[in-house]
Amino acid sequence: MRIAIYPGTFDPLTNGHLDIIERVCKLGISDRLIIAVRENLRKSPLLSLVERLALIYKLTSDFDQVEVDICTGLLVEYARSKYASMIIRGLRNGMDFNYEMEMAVINQSLAPDIETLFIPSKAENIYVSSSAVKEITKLGGSAGSMAPAAVIEYLKTKL
């Protein structure tokens, strides 16, 4: 069985994240895709891990191969514990590339048997970010082109 992990903070899930999930499912490179929700030590999240997990669960329930989980500790150790052979990450621009490349190389040195695969963002998601979705919603604007309606409705109740 081919198992892939798509890790992220997902605070909250955006259309950019959903697009990556859909495209990985369509590619047929994995039998199970585990969306691994975790904390990023460089960020202070608005939503709790459970809130983020619940939103992702609701929005990915149509995908048979997708599972949602909370992940702690070293990413590669988590991937090993799930018998995963792939880590999926999306790339929007050169800044993402530099950050992701560094993580991928460190992860490769820690676990040479686990490959990181990069999926380029679609043009319409290049400027999408979880921070932008939160900021626009907080200031009363519409972030409907950046995140699913269920995410925005939930954020409105939080902000």
Footprint of ligand COA on this chain (CB under 6 A)?
7-11, 14, 16-17, 20, 38, 40, 43, 74-75, 90, 92, 103, 106-107, 121, 125, 128-131
CB of 128 to ligand COA, least distance (A): 4
Return the beta strands (E) in 2-157 as ranges. Answer: 3-8, 32-37, 66-70, 86-91, 115-120
| Residue 48 DSSP label | -
> What residue number has its CB nearest to ligand COA?
16
Nearer to ligand COA, 1 or 123 (CB): 123
CB of 131 to ligand COA, least distance (A): 3
List residues with catalytic annotation: 17, 43, 92, 130
Nearer to ligand COA, 30 or 52 (CB): 52
Q: What is the C-alpha to C-alpha distance for residues 16 and 23, in angstroms, rounded to an integer?
A: 11
CB of 45 to ligand COA, least distance (A): 9
Residues 6+ apart with CB under 8 A from 32: 1, 2, 3, 4, 65, 67
Nearer to ligand COA, 6 or 30 (CB): 6
CB of 34 to ligand COA, least distance (A): 13
| CB atoms closer than 10 angstroms to residue 88 | 26
Nearer to ligand COA, 30 or 47 (CB): 47
Return the beta strands (E) in 32-158 as ranges. Answer: 32-37, 66-70, 86-91, 115-120
